[in-house]
Amino acid sequence: MSPLTQYLLAFVAIVIVPIYIYYTKYSKLLKFVRQFPNPPVIPLLGNALDFKTPGEFLKKLHEYTKTYGPVFHLQFGLRHSLVISDYKFLEFLLSHNSLLRKNANIKFLKPWIGDGLITADGGPRWRMHRKLITPAFHFKILEQFVDVFEADGDILIEKLSKESGNKSVDIYPYVTRCALDAICETAMGTKINVQTNQTSSYFESARHMCRLFVTRSTSILGRYDFFFQFTNDYKVQEKSVKILHDYTKEVIQNKRRELTNKHSDNTVDNTDELGRKRKKAFLDLILEAKVDNQTLTDEEIREEVDTFMFAGHDTTATSSSFILYCIANNKEVQEKILEEQRDIFGEEKNPKVTYANLQEMKYLENVVKEGLRLYTPVPISGRLIEQDVEYNGQIIPKGMNVGIFFHGIHMNPEYYPNPEKFDPSRFEVVGNKLPFAFIPFSAGPRNCIGQKYAMVEIKSIVSKVLRNFELSPAFPRHDLDLTPETVLKSLNGVRIGLKLR
Ligand code: HEM
């Protein structure tokens, strides 16, 4: 065989055959996706270069939604995705009982949280865990967590007091420590006190794992385990995961021991150091819970508790910070919140706040909702279509990636006129609610299990800060530099002015 023939055969084997296989395998998918508009692509790279930084990613998605409408198509290398913020399409995807699988990037959380509810594949194991864990979020349980939120909030106020009178303070680092203390105590019944201990290996490790999730999701090589294992970040991940897991495992073992002792010895003391009845943490409830006579193994419990630790602090911290920022920049809204606080507590700055009090804060609730709309903590989430499914008379083929663009629908003027404006009165209109137009906690079977917890905690933090401080815009003026990391963050902090009342 001549050398030319050999070269030709090699070319066919290496280039043509894979392309042929790709197009035959994905022809259905390509045919489907091509009916939707898409921004111009570069051969092979697709739209990959449109998104150089995570911050640009969010801006571009909004820009494309404006140009191409609420369903458009993006290409990353050979991967195709739809980005959806269309009401009907979202309603269909989020409500469907068999479209529950997250897309590939979620796997970068697995070294920490394994197959906990967030990362689970949406199959029978996830269903069983969801059923078993749901009762732990009953309002009777949340009621007893208010004392924890309030006590951690008091420390927050003490810390922020030192910043009083400064023209600008970045509140996010303070609030995030407060939220981590709260989730630790409510999830595991233990205290890590990261508000008072500035150096905490648990806190640092949790930060590293959140950062690595974003770095790996956006890295061309780092996303592959093969390349990642040679990086310094891999060593950071190994060390962080060990610290995080060791902590949770030890707490679980101690609780198991307590539980066994309790069953064998009825005299075990169920009160805390002040003689109050001990609160049940999520962990206590999960250890005792059964579905169809089945319980969770210690490893499964560890994964779920770590999932709460991950999902339950940065989300509430970032939302509370953005909401305080909105209030600081809207004097009228601040006055109305205070008026409501006075109606409930009189002039008392540090009353004993109960669950019922927090439920009374109706105006504040609208403020929180408007903050979640404008600064949606999880701006987008992904799903992988696992089997052909019919929507609107056509088949969405198996293998399709869809981006559920929560923030996209929140910024659609059809549902929210003048969407850039912070206006809590939008949520005052009763009887005109479209459930899939306000979805900061997602919706349907895989919605956020912690949404009531989050609302209670955010109201507790925000109302406490407002009763204690007069908020003002930062000086010099501070514009947020938003970026969707594990949750929405501001790269230049969330700065406001604070003055003790
Ligand atoms: C403002 C605060 C919060 C927001 C905006 C939020 C938002 C969300 C969203 C959008 C999802 C769906 C994600 C997806 O489809 O990929 C989700 C799921 C989840 N959230 Fe939250 N979340 C918040 C607070 C919390 C808290 C406090 C906890 C726990 C204490 C929590 C636990 C979870 C869990 C376990 C899931 C997975 C549920 C499942 O798939 O079955 N979240 N959250």
Mean pLDDT value across residues 214-238: 88
**Six-digit token pair at 166?**
């400064």
Estimate the share of the chain in helix, then strand, then coil, as percent rounded to the nearest 5: 55, 10, 35
Quick check: 275 pLDDT over 70?
no
| 9/15 Cα distance (integer angstroms) | 10
Strands in 354-454 per DSSP E: 381-384, 389-391, 394-396, 401-404
Q: Which atom of ligand 1 is nearest to the CA of 377?
A: 5
Q: Render pLDDT for 71-84 as a digit per residue (tens, 0 to 9).
A: 999 988 778 899 99
Say if strands 401-404 and 79-84 run parallel, antiparallel, or are unpaired.
parallel
Instruction: Output DSSP code: residue 191.
Output: -
Q: How far apart are CA 189 and CA 293, in angstroms?
A: 25
Atom of ligand 1 nearest to the CA of 307: 35
Ligand 1 atom, smallest distance to 133 CA: 35
Least confident of 132-146, 260-274, 466-480: 260-274
Q: 108: CA distance to ligand 1 center in Å? A: 17
Ligand 1 atom having least distance to the Cα of 313: 27
Test site for ligand 1: of 101, 103, 119, 315, most ligand atoms within 8 A of the Cβ: 315
Indicate the residue type of 283: L
- Percentage, residues of the chain above pLDDT 90: 69
Nearest alpha carbon, ligand 1 atom 14? 381
Residue 441 Cα to ligand 1 midpoint, Å, equals 6
| Ligand 1, CB cutoff 6 Å, lining residues | 102, 117-118, 130, 307-308, 311-312, 315-316, 319, 377-378, 381, 440-442, 446, 448-450, 453-454
CA of 308 to the centre of ligand 1 (A): 9
Which residue type is seen at 95?
A: S
Lowest-confidence range among 38-42, 221-225, 236-240, 447-451? 221-225
What is the rounded average pLDDT of the residues 130-158?
Answer: 94
Angstrom distance (rounded) from CA 486 to CA 99: 22
Nearest protein CA to atom 17 of ligand 1, as residue: 448
Residue 264 has pLDDT above 80, yes or no: no
pLDDT exceeds cutoff 90 at 92 = yes
CB 148, CB 139: distance < 8 Å: no
The average pLDDT across 329-358 equals: 96
Atom of ligand 1 nearest to the CA of 381: 16
Contact between residue 8 and residue 59 where contact means Cβ atoms under 8 Å apart: no
Instruction: Give me the residues paired with residue 74 across strands.
Output: 81
Q: Are 410 and 423 in contact (CB under 8 A)?
A: no
Q: How far is the CA of 472 from the centre of ligand 1 (A)?
A: 31
pLDDT at 431: 59
* pTM summary value: 0.92
Q: 456 CA distance to ligand 1 centroid (A)?
A: 14
What is the C-alpha separation between 372 and 323, in angstroms, rounded? 8
Residue among 378, 448, 458 whose CB has most ligand 1 atoms within 8 A, to mutate: 448
Per-residue confidence at 278, pLDDT binned at 50, 70, 90?
low
372 token code pair? 């979640």
- Give the Å distance between the CA of 85 and the centre of ligand 1: 19
Indicate the average pLDDT of the chain. 91
Considering only CA atoms, which residue is closest to atom 30 of ligand 1? Answer: 312
pLDDT given at position 120:
95
Among protein residues, the one with the nearest Cα to ligand 1's atom 27 is: 312
Dihedral angle over CA of 278, 281, 284, 289, nearest 10: 130
Extended beta strands in 339-433, E state: 381-384, 389-391, 394-396, 401-404
Distance in Å, CA 386 to ligand 1 centroid: 22
The model's pLDDT over 305-321, given as tens digits with 9 standing for 90+, comes to 999 999 999 999 999 99
Q: Which of 131-135, 151-155, 271-275, 385-389 is predicted most confidently?
A: 151-155
Better pLDDT: 422 or 222: 422
Alpha carbon separation from 50 to 66, 141, 254, 324, 359 (Å, rounded): 16, 46, 50, 32, 44
Tell me what the mean pLDDT of segment 244-266 comes to: 84
Reported as a pLDDT band with limits 50, 70 and 90, residue 477 is very high
Range among 124-128, 208-212, 485-489 with highest mean pLDDT value:
124-128
> Quick one: pLDDT at residue 380?
93
Pick the more confident residue, 362 or 78.
362
Average pLDDT over residues 116-132: 94
Give the per-residue pLDDT at 276: 55
Give nearest CA residue, ligand 1 atom 7.
441
Closest ligand 1 atom to 457 CA: 27
Nearest CA to ligand 1 atom 11: 448
What pLDDT is stored for residue 218 in this prediction?
A: 73
Residue 315 alpha carbon to ligand 1 centre in Å: 8
311 CA to middle of ligand 1, Å?
Answer: 6
Ligand 1 atom having least distance to the Cα of 102? 16
DSSP string, 301-337: HHHHHHHHHHHTTHHHHHHHHHHHHHHHT-HHHHHHH
> What is the rounded CA–CA span in Å between residue 161 and residue 428?
33
Residue nearest to atom 37 of ligand 1 (CA): 118
**Cα–Cα distance for residue pair 447/118, rounded to 1 Å:** 10
Q: Long-range contact list for 352-357, CB < 8 A, 24+ apart? A: 352/150, 353/146, 353/150, 353/460, 353/463, 353/464, 354/143, 354/146, 355/139, 355/142, 355/143, 355/146, 355/456
Query: Residue 482: CB partners within 8 Å, gap ≥ 6?
Result: 55, 58, 375, 488, 489, 490, 491
Q: Collapse the DSSP code of 69 into the 3-class scheme (helix H, G, I; strand E, B; otherwise coil) and give the result.
A: coil
- 27 confidence band (pLDDT: 50, 70, 90): confident
Q: Are 176 and 457 in contact (CB under 8 A)?
A: no
Distance from the alpha carbon of residue 445 to the mean position of ligand 1, in angstroms: 12
* Contacts (Cβ under 8 Å, ≥6 apart) of 316: 179, 182, 183, 454, 457, 458, 461
Gyration radius from the chain CA atoms? 25
The binding site for heme consists of 448
Ligand 1 atom at minimal distance to the Cα of residue 304:
35
The pairs formed by 261-269 with CB atoms below 8 angstroms and a separation of 24 or more are: none
Binding-site annotation: residue ranges? 448
